């Protein structure tokens, strides 16, 4: 069974940093691209960042470019999102999702990030 | 950026009815369109990929279609468990963009 488990969320002050992790199991992690998608409270889905299976290709939404860094450790089956210079508008539930069939086919349960003083 | 305009924003329907949700792409995206269902308090679940292909384990009463740059999700024989918010997603070009969502309620 494919499982994606996010961790590392929490309450953080504006301007500070936070690092999310996503532990994958039930599939060969190193064969798949991965994504981060977020959902602000009561709002829709927003794609944040993507990384290819070997980290050769990385893409970011303009809203996070220069502040967030996506990375992965295939030996640890783990995806990361390093978030710096956090703003109140970054408050959201952050999902990691696997790439397959050209879409995000499996999602984690999400990690909550609240940016507030 | 490609804009995905989804409609309606909300709808209410009765069990066994047929409902259709649409997404209009701001430019050609080919068949790079997916549909997701998000039930309250849950993660999104893939329903349809490549505009018309049914994802694993999804009932056949869900179907997707395309007419030019307009994409539709049809749910036949609506069930109570179909309550939720439905999103389209374009994966034709970066940045990947979602539609604004359609909230489906059962009467």
pLDDT greater than 90 at residue A102: no
What six digits make up the tokens of A51? 């990384």
Q: What is the mean pLDDT of residues A101-107?
A: 93
C-alpha span between B92 and A2 (Å, rounded): 25
pLDDT digits (tens, 9 = 90+) for B35-47: 999 999 999 999 9
What number of other Cβ atoms are within 10 A of residue A21's Cβ?
17
Contact (CB<8Å) B89/A104: yes
Query: Which of A47, A95, A109 lies closest to B95 in CB terms?
Result: A47
Cβ atoms of residues B106 and B83 within 8 Å? yes
Touching check for A42 and chain B: CB below 8 Å? no
Query: Which residues in A lie closer than 8 A to residue B46 (C-beta atoms)?
Result: 103-106
pLDDT tier for residue A65 given thresholds of 50, 70 and 90: very high
Contact A103 B45 (CB under 8 A): no
pLDDT band (50, 70, 90) for residue B49: very high
Phi-psi region of A36 (alpha: psi -120 to 50; beta: other; left: phi over 0): beta
**Confidence label for A101 from pLDDT (cuts 50, 70 and 90):** confident
Of the candidates B32, B46, B99, which has its C-beta nearest A105's C-beta? B46
Per-residue pLDDT tens for B54-102? 999 999 999 999 999 999 999 999 999 999 999 999 999 999 999 999 9
CB contact at 8 A, B99 and B23: yes
Task: Determine the distance in angstroms separating the CA of A66 from the nearest CA of chain B, rounded to an integer.
Answer: 15
Token pair listed for B104 = 């489906």
Which of B31, B36, B46 should one mutate to test binding to chain A, selecting the residue with the greatest count of A CBs within 10 A? B46
Minimal CA–CA distance to A6: which of A28, A26, A21?
A21
Residue from the list B53, B98, B101 with its beta carbon closest to the beta carbon of A47: B98
SS3 B13: strand
If DSSP codes are grouped into helix, strand and coil, which group holds residue A90? helix
Of B36, B43, B49, the CB nearest to A110: B43
**Is A1 within 8 Å of chain B by CB?**
no
Q: A24 phi and psi, to 5 degrees?
A: -105, 145
């Amino acid at each position: 069974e494919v499982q994606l488990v996010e961790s590392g969320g929490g309450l953080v002050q504006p301007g500070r940093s936070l690092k999310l992790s996503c532990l994958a199991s039930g599939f060969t992690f190193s064969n798949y691209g991965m994504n981060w998608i977020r959902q602000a409270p009561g709002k829709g889905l927003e794609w944040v960042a993507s990384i290819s299976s070997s980290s050769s290709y990385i893409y970011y939404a303009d809203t996070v470019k220069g502040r967030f860094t996506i990375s992965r450790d295939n030996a640890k089956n783990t995806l990361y999102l390093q978030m710096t210079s956090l703003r109140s508008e970054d408050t959201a539930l952050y999902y990691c999702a696997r790439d397959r069939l050209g879409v995000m086919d499996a999602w984690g349960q999400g990690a909550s990030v609240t940016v507030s003083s | 950026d490609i804009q995905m305009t989804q409609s309606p924003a909300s709808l209410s329907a009765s069990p066994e009815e047929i409902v259709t949700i649409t997404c209009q792409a701001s430019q050609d995206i080919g068949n790079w369109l997916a549909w997701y269902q998000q039930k309250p308090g849950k993660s999104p679940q893939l329903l349809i990929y490549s505009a018309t292909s049914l994802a694993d384990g999804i009932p056949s009463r869900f179907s997707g279609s395309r007419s030019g740059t307009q994409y539709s999700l049809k749910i036949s024989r609506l069930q109570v468990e179909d309550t939720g918010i439905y999103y389209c997603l374009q994966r034709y070009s970066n940045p990947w963009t979602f539609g604004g969502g359609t909230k489906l309620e059962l009467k």
